Structure 1
Amino acid sequence: MYAIIETGGKQIRVEEGLELNIQKMDVETGTKVDLDKILLIGQGEDIKIGAPYVDGAKVACTILEHGRDKKIIVFKKRRRKDSQTKQGHRQDFTRIKIDAIQA
C-alpha cells in the first residue's frame, strides 16, 4: 500500500517502513505523529483519490531525528557592474519513519 502525502508544501509518495527527510516539524524526537493531508491512497488496482484530501485517511509516522542538510552556495554576479554576492544556506529537516497507512 502506498500514499501520496502533502507536507511542507511538497507532495511525497510514501510506503510503510520508508524513512525520509521532510521539512522541519516542531515535534520532539521519538514521538508518533499522524499526517492527515493524504492526497491519494493506492493498493494494486484499488486507488482512492481525494478532493483535495482523502476523508478518514491518515499516515502514522515516528520522528527519528532533526538535522540540517549540507550547505549550498548561492552566488550572484552582475556582469560589468563589479558586483557579486556569495551566500551559504543549510536547510533544516526532520527524519521520519512511516509506520502505517490507514485508509
Structure 2
Amino acid sequence: MYAIIATGGKQYKVAEGDVLKVEKLGAAAGETVTFDQVIAVSNDGLKVGADVAGATVIATVVGEGKGKKVIVYKYKRKTGYHKKNGHRQAYTQVKIEKINA
C-alpha cells in the first residue's frame, strides 16, 4: 500500500515505514504529524481525486536538519562585479506510520 502526499510544494510517494525529508514543518522530534493533502492511494487499486477524500497519512517526526550547501554565484563580466552566497535548506525528517484510506 502506498500513497502520494503533497507538502511544502512538493509531492512524495510514501509507504508505511518510509523515512523521508520534507520541507521544515516546525514540529519537535517525537511529535505526530498528519498529512491531509493526499492525492492518490493504492491498496488493491489506484484511487485518485474524489475517491480519496478524507484520506490521511500519519507520520512521526524523527528530527530536523539542514541540507547540503548550494553555492549561488553572481557575476557580470567586464565590471568587476561578483558575489558569492551559500544556502542550506532546512528540512524535517519524518517516518510514515500509517496510511488511512
- TM-score under structure 2 length normalisation: 0.93
Segments of 4+ moved more than 6 angstroms: none
Q: Where does the alignment leave 5 or more consecutive residues of structure 2 unmatched? A: none
Alignment partner of 2:68: what SS? coil
RMSD: 1.4
| CA distance, structure 2, for counterparts of residue 79 and residue 38 of structure 1 | 48
Aligned ranges 1:51-66 → 2 under 5 Å: 54-66=52-64
Aligned residues: 101
| CA distance, structure 1, for counterparts of residue 77 and residue 15 of structure 2 | 48
Residue 78 of structure 1 aligns with which residue? 76
1:43-87, CA deviations, whole angstroms, 9 ceiling, x for partnerless residues? 34x111025x83110001000001111211101111222211100
| CA distance, structure 1, for counterparts of residue 79 and residue 3 of structure 2 | 50
| CA distance, structure 2, for counterparts of residue 55 and residue 74 of structure 1 | 41
Q: Where does the alignment leave 5 or more consecutive residues of structure 1 unmatched? A: none
Alignment partner of 1:56: what SS? coil
- TM-score under structure 1 length normalisation: 0.91
Residue 48 of structure 1 aligns with which residue? 47
Provide the identity percentage: 43
Aligned ranges 1:23-38 → 2 under 5 Å: 23-38=23-38
